[in-house]
Amino acid sequence: MLRFRSLASLLAGAATMAFAFGASAETIKVGVTAGPHAQILEAVKPIAAKDGLDIQILEFTDYVIPNQALAGGDLDANSFQHQPYLDNQVKDRGFDLVSVGKTVVYPIGIYSKKVKSLEELPTGAKFAIPNDPTNGGRVLLLLQAKGLIKLKDGGTLKASPIDIVENPKKLEIVELDAAQLPRSLDDVTAAAINTNFALEAGIDPVKDAIARESAESPYANVIAVRKADKDKPWVAKLVKAYNSPEVKEFILTKFKNAVVPAF
C-alpha cells in the first residue's frame, strides 16, 4: 500500500513537471499589428505560459486581414483594433466575432513636418486621415473638437469627408490606408496617424504630435475571438495574462503615455 502511494506521488510529480516545461500547454495563434501590439503580446506570453497557454504571435501590416483570418479560423484571437472598429467590421462584413477583454488606448495624434500647430495650417492645406470608416470618423471628430471643421448633425464615428458642412480653412482631406500615413508627411501639410503606426515609424506621439486626443479617449482596444470560443478556458487565461499587473507596468514603462492601459 505504501508502494502504491509512493508511485502515485511520483506520477503526480512527473505530471506537474511536464506541465511546467510546457508539455501540456495549449497553443493558440494570436494576430497583432506590428509595433506596440506585438511588443505587448510578447510581454503577455511568458505570463500566459505559467498558466499553460502557449501564445504564437502572428504580425499583420493592415487592419483588414486580422479579422478575416480570425473569422476564417487561421487565428484563435486577435489584438489590434478598438471596439468601434470591431463593431463596424461585424456589421459590414458579417464576422461572428466578439470582444472578450480590453487592452490599451492609443490616443490618435496629428503630425506635420510643415507647421508646428493647428493654428498654422494654411488655407487649402492637405490633411491626411485614415481611410477606414471608424478611424476616419474618429479623426474628423477630433478636427471638429479642435474647431477646424463642423460635421453634419454633430458627426459620428461613421462620418466621412462628405459630412463636413463647415470648413473655414478649406482643408483638402486626403484619405489613405492607415499604415501609409507616416510616409505621407512629406506630401501633405499634416496627417492624423494611429499611434501604433506612428511608433513603428519612429515618431514620438508625446513629443512630436501638434495635437492629440485625450488619454481618456473612448477608443479602447480589445482582444477579439470567434463568438463560439468566447467561453473557452484559454480565452479567460489570455485575458487574465494580458490584464495582469506585470503587463500594465510594462506598458507604462515602455511607452511612457504614448500607449495607455485600458484595464
What residues contact 249, with CB distance under 8 A and at least 6 apart?
A: none
Could you read off the pLDDT of 141-182 as tens digits, one per residue?
Answer: 999 999 999 999 999 988 999 999 999 999 999 999 999 999
Domain 19-107+218-261 fold: D-Maltodextrin-Binding Protein; domain 2 (3.40.190)
> Which residue is it, cell 463596424?
88
Q: Can you give the residue ranges of every domain in the chain?
A: 19-107+218-261, 109-212
Q: Given this chain, do its domains 19-107+218-261 and 109-212 carry the same CATH topology?
A: yes
CA distance 196 to 176: 16
> Which residue is it, cell 505621407?
184
CA dihedral sign, ordered 126, 129, 131, 133: negative
Could you read off the pLDDT of 55-93 as tens digits, one per residue?
Answer: 999 999 999 999 999 999 999 999 999 999 999 999 999
Q: Output the pLDDT for position 23.
A: 54
Q: What angle do CA 103, 57, 200 make, to 5 degrees?
A: 70
Beta pairing partners, 31: 58, 78
- Output the pTM of the full model: 0.80
In 162-253 the beta strands, taken as DSSP E runs, fall at 164-166, 172-176, 190-193, 211-212, 220-226
Domain 109-212 fold: D-Maltodextrin-Binding Protein; domain 2 (3.40.190)
> Which residue is it, cell 502557449?
54
